[in-house]
Amino acid sequence: MSNLIPPHGGKGLTCCLLEGAELEAEKKKAQGLKKVPISPRVKGDLIMIGIGGFSPLTGFMTRADWKGVCDNFLLADGTFWPVPVTLDASKEDADAIKKGDEIALIDPGSNEIMATMKVTEKYEMAEADKRYECEKVFMGEGTATPKEFWDIAEKDHPGVQMVMKQKAFNLAGPVKVLSEAEYPTKYAGIYHRPEQSRKIFEERGWREIAALQLRNPMHRSHEYLCKIAVEVCDGVYIHSLVGNLKPGDIPAEVRVRCIDVLVKNYFVEKNVVQGGYPLDMRYAGPREALLHATFRQNYGCSRMIIGRDHAGVGDFYGMFEAQTIFDKIPKPKEPGKALLCTPLKIDWTFYCHKCDGMASLRTCPHSKQDRVLLSGTMLRKGLSEGTPIPDHFGREEVLAILREYYAGLTEKVEVKLHGAATGQTQK
C-alpha cells in the first residue's frame, strides 16, 4: 500500500503506452492507417497521456470535455481538469475521416508514428471557438477587458498564437501510444514516467513531496523556494520542462546542467530529486499552474510550489493570480475527481543586502532599493546582452554554464522585460 498521494481521477495511472508484442502489432497496423500530422504541443500531450502523466485522460477531448474545461474546469464526467487537451486536424484530413475510423498520428519532424487513435468525434473549431478558448484559458487579471486582451494577445502571447494557429477541426477519441520520442535517450536519468518518480519517492520513504516547476535556469530565488519546501516536506522534486519553449528561452540540456551543479554544491542531495517531463509550455499562467499541480499529483507530489507569476508571460496575469486560483476552483465530491495536490504559496522572494540573505515580502521590512530582484527574464536579458549580473543573483557555478552557452550563440533573440521582472510592481 503506497503512502503517496493517489493519481488524479480516481482510476490509478491510466497509461496508454504500448509495450512488447502489443506494441509491435500496433506499429505494423499503423502503417496501413490514414496518417494525420500533429503539432509539437500535441506530441507532448500525447506522450503524457501515454505514460500516465495526464491521468485519467486516455485520449483527446470531446467537444463536451473542451467546453466543460473552458467554462468550469471540469471534464464532461465531472472530473477536475484545467486546460483543454485537444488534437487539431485540417479540414482535408477531417473530411476524410468518419466516426469510428482508426488513424495514425505522425510527428512531421521525425516522420515517426507516435500513436494510433480511434476517432469517436470530430468537431469544427471556428475562429470564434478559438477566441473563446483563448479568453477562458489565457485572459488573466493583467488585462481588464477582452478588447484590452486582444489588443496585445495575438502579437505578444505565445499560447494565444498557438491556439489561433490550430487547424479547423478537433478530433476526439482514445489513443494507443507507440513512442516516447527522443526523451528517454536524450534525457536519460532525468526524464521520468510517473511510475518511476513514484518508485523513487517510495524507496526514499517520502510521503509529502513538493514539486518545483522549472522552465528557466535555477537562480537564487528558485534555490530558496526549494529549500523552504525541503524544510516542510520530506523532499523536493525539481521537475523541468524538456519540451518546447518560446524563442529566447534557454534549452533544457543547459538548464539540466545548471540544476546538477546547484544540487551538488548547495543542497543535501538525498532530499532532492531532479526530473524532466515532455510538455511544451502553454504560458497559461493561473490555469497552467493548476495543470502543473494536476499532473504533479500523478507523479506522486502532494504539494506544488507556486511563487510569483507562475507560468506567466509579459503582464497578462496578476502577480499572485496563480496562487489565488486554487481557492476558486470546483471541488467535486465524487472520490478521486477533485484536485488533491495543494499549492505551497510563497511570496515574492529576493536577496536583501540589509537582511544579508534571501527573504520575501513577508519577512523583509526593507525597501526595494536594498533588494536584488530576481527573475528568469532579467537573467536571460543580462546574459544575452553581456551586461554584468548583479551579485547574489545566481550561483557562480551556474552563471559560468550560462555564460558559456550564450557565448556560443550566433543568433540572439531580444528579451523583453515586463513589470514583474523589473520590480516595478514591488513596493
Q: Grid coordinates standing for 254?
A: 543547459
Cα-Cα-Cα-Cα dihedral sign, residues 235, 274, 6, 80: positive
**First-to-last CA distance in the chain?**
49
Distance of CA 226 to the CA centre of its chain: 18
- Active site includes 72? no
| Residue 371 φ then ψ, to 5° | -110, 145
Residue 358 three-state SS: strand
| Main-chain phi, psi angles of 382, to 5 degrees | -60, -45
The amino acid occupying position 278 is P
Catalytic residue among 41, 170, 193, 216: 216
Instruction: Find, among 9, 122, 105, 6, the residue nearest to 58 by Cα.
Output: 9
CA atoms within 13 A on the CB side of 38: 28
Catalytic choice (198, 215, 255, 371): 215
For the packed helices 127-138 and 146-156, what is the interaxial angle rounded to 10 degrees? 100
For residue 253, give the C-alpha cell: 540540456
CB count within 10 Å of CB 347 equals: 16
Is 215 considered catalytic here? yes
User: Could you tell me the three cell numbers for 26?
Assistant: 500496433
Query: Which residues are part of the catalytic machinery?
Result: 215-216
